[in-house]
Amino acid sequence: MFAAAAATVLVVSFVALALLWSQPRIQHWPEWRLFRLPAAVDVVLGTAGVLALAVTAYAGLAGTEAERDNLAPWAVYVAFWVGVPFASLILGDVWRLLSPWRAIGRGAGWIAGERLPAPLEYPKRLGR
């Protein structure tokens, strides 16, 4: 029953978002930074994000099924869904620093010795 309700809420929220927010509204805001962080901070926090992703994935796959004893639900629902938005309100775009996907991409570019190609554009036929 809980899974069906959660899936319904998720589907309804994404359908509403797709129907009610058809035009980008925050895409052209100027970037505003009070100061720049050293590259070492970016590397350390990106590495922490990759490690957090690995630990969460391991806990979710190999951990116990008891929610109170498993780190994965807490990491996703509390730290990621609640903690990152609140930290972003106070500190700015913390996800840019903590994102494991950006860190893996930067690491791959560093290993390759060059910048990776730009991502593909979002297809206009899909709504933008």
Reported pTM: 0.65
Indicate whether 82 belongs to any domain.
Answer: yes
Indicate whether 9 belongs to any domain.
Answer: no
Which structural domain, as residue segments, surrounds residue 107? Answer: 36-119
Taking alpha carbons only, the member of 22, 33, 17, 10 closest to residue 96 is 33
Indicate whether 22 belongs to any domain.
Answer: no
Indicate whether 55 belongs to any domain.
Answer: yes
Q: Which residues of the chain have pLDDT under 70?
A: 27, 29, 114-118, 128
pLDDT for 52: 93
Indicate whether 40 belongs to any domain.
Answer: yes
88-112, pLDDT tens digit by residue? 989 888 999 999 999 998 888 888 7
Half-sphere exposure of 120 (CA within 13 A, CB side): 3
Indicate whether 51 belongs to any domain.
Answer: yes
35-120-47 Cα angle (round to 5): 45
pLDDT for 36: 82
pLDDT for 58: 92
Measured CA to CA, the distance from residue 50 to residue 101 in angstroms comes to 8
Indicate whether 28 belongs to any domain.
Answer: no
pLDDT for 11: 93
Domain count, the chain: 1
